[in-house]
Each structure stands twice: as structure tokens, then as C-alpha cells.
Amino acid sequence: MSALMEQRHLGRTGLRVSRIGLGTLTWGRDTDEHDAADLLKTFWEAGGSLVDTADVYGDGEAEYLLGRLIEGLVPRRDLVISTKAGSVPDPDRRFDGSRGHLLSALDDSLTRLGTDYVDVWHVHAYDPQTPLEETLQALDLAVSSGRARYAAVSNFCGWQLAKAATWQLAAPGTRTRLAATQLEYSLLQRGVEREVLPAALDLGIGLLPSSPLGRGVLTGKYRGDATPADSRGASEHLAPFVEPYLDDTASRIVDAVQTAADGLAVTPLQVALAWVRDRPGVTAPIVGARNAQQLTAALSVEALSLPDEICRALDDVSAPVHRYPDHDWSTL
């Protein structure tokens, strides 16, 4: 394997991962085994190591498919496998952070993946019906038993992340520190900058942005009311996922990304991905691609670093409105 991609430490840990991660949200549903194999091989050959999945992706098929591929296509030791537990199909309870559910889900994930450990194990979301210390104890047990090497969370808001991380740090040596958190982050969705990102930076937690291309909208494929037939926006079950980012505000940001891309002689995809990859606190954006050609286009961002003036222009056009209590009162 040619190690082409830069590696970064995941939060304040010794674990190093590729600075772009491969997402598997559509594996086993919209992405079949042949395309998944092409994606994983392309990613690995480019020096990629971080592969992100979850027990609910494709109702478990994503993990099962990944397990089959690492058995014969890519050596297990070359991958950093990240998976999640806690989401449940029960309409009355979307998330289950109980110790029993999480540890059972981890065992099921390991079976599907065909491995005896995952590198990074996330609690998929905060469960208000379970005491947080019980949820976090599941992470401690997973790491102490060797079934997970590092612990993480996903979709925690700022106070939830800070509370969880501080609890884990309160008993060093007996509790495992949180290595990472995963949330949506892009030029079209900068909400994490309000509280989550400052907390993560302060506590040494690496951010793994999901949907770094604004659910595909930042590639420019939907400009001018276009909806490509093979896009998520044309998919019956994914169209509602894309629709919130097709408003006038998003259109102005997409136009700015296109202008920057034209000026740099690169693609809008490369501009949008480079911007989020190099934001403070970000370890690795998680990229989902439909085929190897799309993934190769995303991985080509490795050679691109945006000039400061381009970053400032994109920051300005996409800046979220944060007033009290986030305003810097020292400037008044």
C-alpha cells in the first residue's frame, strides 16, 4: 500500500487516521458489493485508513459487507474501523444508550464485521432516558475488554459532549477518554461552531465531520434547479435528506464555492472538502461516494490547500448568525 494521504492524530490520542474517511451509509442498500469493493480498494490504495460505518446502516448490511471485503480484499491491520451503536428502529424510542443494548449491539457488530475488535466505537446519539454514566460505562467496558480500542460519541450537542468528556476525564486510568465526536459540518451547516467545536477543542476531542459536502449540494450538481437522475436528490428515500439545502441561502454559498473553484482551476467538490478538512479541530471529514470515480475525485483534494483569502471569503459568505451569548463582548 502506498501511504499517500496525510495522517492525523484522532483527538488527544495516539491513534493516527487518514485525514479523509470513507463513509458506508449507503452500503448494502444503494451500494452493492461490487461498487463497495471498488470504493474500499481505491481508498486503501490512496493511503486511506479510516472507514466509518454503523450497526444501522443498511440494517446491518453495511457492516456485513465491510467484513466480507476486509476478509479478502484489504488487510484488517491497514484499516481503522469506526462503527456506532445506539440507534434503534423502534418508533417509540429512537435511541437506546443503555449498557445492555450498547454492549449487545457491539457484539453483533463484531460478528457482522468478522473481527474481534473495532478501532473506534461511537455512541450514535444521546439517550435522555438513560443516565449518561451508564452509557459511558459501556464505552469503558468495551475498551477494557479489548472489543474496542478507542471510544467516541456522535450527534452530541455542546453541553452533552462537555459533560460526557469531563466525566470520563474525572477518573483517569479507570475511564477511557473520548477520542472523537461525529457530527454534520460543512459550508452549508456550521452549527457545530457554536458550542460543539469549542468544547471538542478544549477537551482534546477530534471532530469527524459527516456530510462535508453539504449532502452533495456543494458539488454544484443541483445548481439552476437541476436534479441529476443518479443523485441523492432524485432518490425517493434520500430526497428529503437533500431538500433542506436547496434554498436561496445555500445557493449563494454554492455560487461562492463555484467562483473559488474557477479561480483556483479546481472543482467545487475540492474547494468545499478542503475547507472543512482544514478547519480547526477537524481530524477527518467522512466522505460517502457512489462509485470509485466519485471517490477518486474527492481524494484528489489531498494536493489542495486553500489560500487564506479564499478561506476568508468562504467564511464570510457562509457565516452563521451567532448572537448572545456567543458574541465576543471584549470587542465592544
Number of Cβ atoms within 10 Å of the Cβ of 227: 13
pLDDT tens profile 8-36 = 999 999 999 999 999 999 999 999 999 99
CA quadruple 138, 142, 148, 150: dihedral positive or negative? positive
What's the whole-number mean pLDDT along residues 128-149? 98
Q: Would you list the DSSP string of 39-75?
A: HHHHHHHTT--EEE--TTGGGGHHHHHHHHHHHHTS-
Q: Would you list the DSSP string of 237-267?
A: TTHHHHGGG-SHHHHHHHHHHHHHHHHHTS-
| Catalytic residue of the set 57, 64, 150, 245 | 57
Looking at residue 94, its pLDDT comes to 87
- Given a contact cutoff of 8 angstroms between Cβ atoms, the answer to whether 292 and 32 are in contact is no
Is 64 annotated as catalytic?
no
Number of Cβ atoms within 10 Å of the Cβ of 96: 21
Statement: residue 240 has pLDDT above 80: no
Looking at residue 234, its pLDDT comes to 46
Statement: residue 4 has pLDDT above 60: yes
What's the whole-number mean pLDDT along residues 86-100? 88
The structure's pTM equals: 0.93
- β-pair type (80-85, 206-210): unpaired
- Mean pLDDT of the residues in the chain: 92
What whole-number distance in Å separates Cα of residue 192 and Cα of residue 209? 10
Q: Which residues pair with residue 8 across a beta bridge?
A: 17
Statement: residue 46 has pLDDT above 80: yes
